Structure 1
């Protein structure tokens, strides 16, 4: 039986999603908890790997359950075995054709940026920070230039393993709530460090170091070294994959970040 899970986590406590030698990742913690409930090893596959320090409001994973358990066991039971900072939100049976990664038709990210002279205290690790003045209109102009199909080589980490840098950006916008800037991105897929590199570039535009048209030039030059530095992972949230309705999974946009910003 194939099971899909919705998982949230505070990335600052982990070494990223993907299992690695020495442990300390979200996948390591989740698979250990699942194995305790199943009584044997369980391998998981996720919708989108996240780096160290990056959070998730709804990571979606799937696994083939080696034993039959009620869905509540895969939620409440697993949560009793997980460390602080990660929790399963829901579990659902899915057909064997479902794949957390390959069934997704899009992915969503949000970046929270605190913009004030003082660094964050209460929100340390949960928001990025920039101390200087930012021009919202200039950043919105730059966001509009990101929409559509582009070669995102200028926003791609050197170690990125994606076969192609060409992606389709379906949403790119920024809003302001007092000292908080909220960046939203949705695309068919994302390259390694792509969102953090985009935020860094938008901040350069916002502080007046570059015009909004710089985005167009970066697309043409396709050179990562010419774009802005990679921004901090602290404010980055993976808001989940987007699936076709027939899979019947919860909407990835239904998370606490939406409630807070309404």
Structure 2
């Protein structure tokens, strides 16, 4: 029984050609609504999107990711290739991750369907959206950021450790040069605290079938 399971598992690894994760962060001082609790990482501080995007560029490619490998990882090698890593700001929606995040990417806060600075109750709680209730339960004072990462394989907690570093860059606790320093340190003790699990979503798994 065990040998049969191991054979299936090993075949799964060989056939898998791509894996994609999303990580969702909500930035804003106001506490999360019941609709968002445990569905995103709440970051009270403002996040610098441009700095986070520049930090992503450091981590894309073929690297030794020992600094982004949690203790207990059983992978034989810390070498991994990240094919895609970026951060985008999207309208906060209780329908995430059902929607395709790329279709909702925005360039600035002014592109949001609701003003993030409005004090009216309808804007704060998303009670109106062009005559419908799509935004019900959403507190528009939060800005929503989604980290998208794609690779063939990941190390143990690699995505959450990466997000932890990106968040620190976004809040100004780290600068982009620190990300390269952390990567070159090749020890997880150099990284920022790991992001919590409740913002992580498995977005897509692709297989190369024989």
Q: What TM-score do the two structures reach when normalised by structure 2? A: 0.68
- Across the aligned residues of Structure 1 and Structure 2, the Cα RMSD in angstroms comes to 2.0
Q: Which residue of 1 aligns with 2:109?
A: none
What displacement does 1:208 show? 0.5
Q: Within the alignment, does 1:212 sit opposite 2:176 as a pair?
A: yes
Gaps of 5+ in 2: 92-142
Q: TM-score by structure 1 length?
A: 0.55
Aligned twin of 2:32: 120
Structure 1: which 4+ aligned runs deviate by more than 3 Å? none
Residues 186-206 of structure 1 show CA distances to partners (whole Å, capped at 9, x for unaligned) of 012101111000000000000
* Matched length: 154
2:192 is aligned with 1:222: no
Q: Give, in angstroms, the shift of residue 101 of structure 1.
A: 2.8
Match of 2:87 among 150, 159, 174: 174
Q: Which has the higher contact order (CA 8 A, sep 6+)?
A: 2
List runs of 5+ in structure 1 lacking aligned partners: 1-42, 46-61, 64-97, 248-262
Greater strand content: 1
Larger fraction in helix: 2
Q: Which residue of 1 aligns with 2:16?
A: 104
- C-alpha separation in 2, matches of 1:109 and 1:177: 16
Instruction: Provide the residue aligned with 1:162 in structure 2.
Output: 75
- 1:45-84 Cα offsets, whole Å, 9 max, x none, are 8xxxxxxxxxxxxxxxx79xxxxxxxxxxxxxxxxxxxxx
Q: What SS does structure 2 have at the residue aligned with 1:192?
A: coil
- Between the aligned partners of 1:204 and 1:136, the Cα distance in structure 2 is 11
